[in-house]
Structure 1
Amino acid sequence: MDDQATTSNWSRWMIGIAIGIALVLLGAAGGIALARSSSPDNAPTAVDIGFNQDMSWHHLQAVQMANLVPSRSDDTDVRQIAFDIGSTQLEQIGRMKGWLNMWGELEQAPAGQLMTWMNADHHHSASGVDGRRMPGMATSQELARLRGLSGKEFDVLFLQLMTRHHEGGGAMSRYAAGKAAVPVVQNLANSMVISQDAEVLTLKAMLASRNAQPLGTG
């Protein structure tokens, strides 16, 4: 790779980082403003707090996977959906972190206590990273494999992992959409249900067109 191409790639990478930071800051500022506009009668409950803590963590992995795509895939459709997912979820992380900061609840729940804000009928015994997985989260081994691939093999595994990731987070979003006390949290959760359900259909269609099948739920 010549010096000009190296400089161009470096510039694109720096621009991407700058856009990501801007989206988080914008989302945080918007989240605080929206939460402050909510009725004081709608104080955050364990559902509001737990959903924002856990979904921020869940979203972060999707953003990390999406960020791998530009350097490993030449497929225009895969690059586009990765950009859409990464930018949307980064902005949503900013909003959720903004609310949590305003509530003084930024600290993530300890291992083994994730998703306890959901009742027994909806609770999944899973958690974070390195063996602590929430539903749909890729394992450290799966992420390592993804990082080691490129081209069509990367595209298929990325689409498989992202499909499972979206489906796994759906239970949290649906629960929060119906049970959260703060209206802006309910609205965000509901918008996640709608947008991610649509994206799952797209991801599955993309897999089918590449002669591949979704992974089992995790």
Structure 2
Amino acid sequence: MRRASWIAAGSAAVLLAAAGGFGVALASDAGDEGSGTPGAESADAGFARDMAVHHQQAVEMSYLVREGTDDPEVRRLAYDIAQTQANQRGMMLGWLDLWQLPKVSAEPPMSWMDMGGMASGKDGALMPGMATNTQMAALDKAEGKQAEVLYLRLMTEHHKGGVHMAEGCVDRCEVDVEKRLAQGMVESQQSEIQLMAEMLRKRGAKAEG
């Protein structure tokens, strides 16, 4: 299985993001801005925890498709998504460390958006847009055009869920630097959704749903 091979590269990227100067600077800003340190069940903490998990799956999906296809367009997009989301994940985990808050909550995912009851975790899909275990296994096995189309469809849904979560942080979070990061996620992922729609069209397919 290819699925295990992405871990070393993906984990290294996350560690570099968490330890890098840019991530440290943003973590320091997150501690200075807003009205004090966020609470463990605040929107700021909830978004950081949940989006870190959401991003981790996007990184995994991106490494899987890079091993499943030689297509330069898809491989380039997957690389950009993996690097961007690994860096953002490092920032969010760094903020939780800075705030001395747990990275895991007893509350269901999405509780900070009053959606805890909707995130059932059925077949491993813990949050909106996340791929199921079955879908991840299919991506792991797919090759060539099949892998490209499956990845683009899964990542489109993943981005839609991510945009919804990021918009929730823009509305609910208190730490200014985190709100700015969330707004940046909304804009970049909406742009990538449009790009992926065009890439699917070129492959004679379209997004599901």
TM-score by length of 1: 0.83
Among 42, 49, 59, which residue is 2:45 paired with? 49
Give the residue type in structure 2 aligned to 1:37. Answer: D
1:93-104 matched pairs, under 5 angstroms: 93-104=89-100
Q: Secondary structure at the match of 2:119?
A: coil
Aligned counterpart, 2:196: 203
1:19/1:126 CA distance change after superposition, 3 Å: closer
Q: What is the alpha-carbon root mean square deviation over aligned residues?
A: 2.4
Q: Is the 8 A contact 1:73 1:79 kept in 2?
A: yes
Instruction: Check if 1:62 corresponds to 2:72.
Output: no
Among 67, 72, 93, which residue is 2:68 paired with? 72
1:32 deviation in Å? 2.0
Instruction: Output the CA distance in 2 between the equivalents of 1:43 and 1:18.
Output: 29
1:1-218 matched pairs, under 5 angstroms: 18-26=12-20, 28-39=23-34, 41-45=35-39, 46-110=42-106, 113-119=108-114, 125-126=118-119, 130-216=123-209
Q: Is the 8 A contact 1:42 1:181 kept in 2?
A: no
1:209/1:66 CA distance change after superposition, 3 Å: same
1:208/1:132 CA distance change after superposition, 3 Å: closer
Larger Rg, first or second structure (1 or 2):
1
1:124 deviation in Å? 6.6
Q: Is the 8 A contact 1:28 1:99 kept in 2?
A: no
Aligned pair count?
Answer: 201
Aligned counterpart, 1:4: none
1:23 deviation in Å? 2.7
1:209/1:132 CA distance change after superposition, 3 Å: closer
Give 5+ residue unaligned stretches, structure 2: none
Give 5+ residue unaligned stretches, structure 1: 1-9
Instruction: Output the CA distance in 1 between the equivalents of 2:47 and 2:10.
Output: 28
Give the residue type in structure 2 aligned to 1:114. Answer: P
Q: Secondary structure at the match of 2:112?
A: coil
Over residues 118-163 of structure 1, what are the superposed CA-to-partner deviations in whole Å (9 max), with x where a residue is unaligned? 136xx67115574342100000000001000111100000000000
TM-score by length of 2: 0.86
Q: Secondary structure at the match of 1:117?
A: helix
Moved more, 100-109 or 188-197: 100-109
